[in-house]
Amino acid sequence: MRVLLVDDEEELVATLAERLEMRGITACWVTNHRAALEAVDRERFDIALLDVRLPEMNGLDLKRLIEAKQPTMKFIFLTGHGSEEDFNACSAESGREYYLIKPVQIDVLTAKLHEICAEQGDRQ
């Protein structure tokens, strides 16, 4: 399973990527939307973990751009801000179960990743 991590907090994504690697999940991390799009152009990912509030572009718009390049990719939104509009927008975009509030427990995250992967596998 290949996962793309996008968050402006480098400390957070780098550590998270390392921890996922330890659990056998290939994780690539970037800190802005340009890098994210480049990565998508370069490689293929199963799942993207997007921060809702990125510096220049929000996670929802980024999702649409990525989706245009790799339509089979799945998305999980990550936010530190539990505001109503974020919640509603993300729920509408990908269902409320794909919306996680920071800080996330690693076990919860890996379980969610495996679950999505399994769903994808079933479909294929």
Partner 1 sequence: MAMLEPFKHYKPSFLNQADQSSGMYKPLYNFKRLWKQSIAVTLAVVLLPLFTLAAVDYVISKRALDSELVLRTARQASNARRTLSAYLEERKFALYFLTLDNTFDQLADEKRLGQLLEHLRGGLGDWHDLGLIDHTGTQVNYAGPYNIKGINYSEQEWYKKLHYKDMETYNHAVAMHSDVSDIFLGFRMTPHFVISVLHNKPEGGEHYLLRASLDVERLNTILSHLEVGGDGEAFLVNREGIIQTPSRHYGNIMQTFPLGVPPFSEHTETFEQVDHLGRRVIVGYAYIIDTPYILLIVKHKNDLVQTWKSTDSQLLVFLAVSVLAIVAVVVGICTYLVNNIYQSDQKRLASLHQAEYANKMASIGRLSAGVAHEINNPLAIINEKAGLIKDLFTFRQEYAGDKRLLGLVDSIIHSVERCATITRQLLNFARNIQVTVQQVHLSKVVGDVLEFQAREAAHQNITVSVDIPDTIPELFSDRGKLQQVFINLINNAFAAMKGGGQLAIQSRLSDDGTRIITTISDTGCGIPPENLEKIFEPFFTTKSGSGGTGLGLSITYGLVTELGGSISIESVVDQGTTITVTLPLSLQTYPEPPHARTAG
Which positions lie near partner 1, rule CB under 8 A?
9, 11-12, 15-16, 18-19, 22, 80-84, 87, 101-106
Residue 31 CB contacts under 8 Å (≥ 6 apart), including other chains: 6, 7, 8, 9, 10, 13
Residue 106 or 118: the one with the smaller Cβ distance to partner 1 is 106
Residue 107 or 122: the one with the smaller Cβ distance to partner 1 is 107
41: tokens are 């152009």
Q: How far is the CB of 60 from partner 1 (least distance, A)?
A: 17
27: tokens are 């994780």
Kindly report the backbone phi and psi dihedral angles of residue 77, in degrees, each rounded to the nearest multiple of 5, phi listed first.
-95, 145
Q: How far is the CB of 119 from partner 1 (least distance, A)?
A: 26
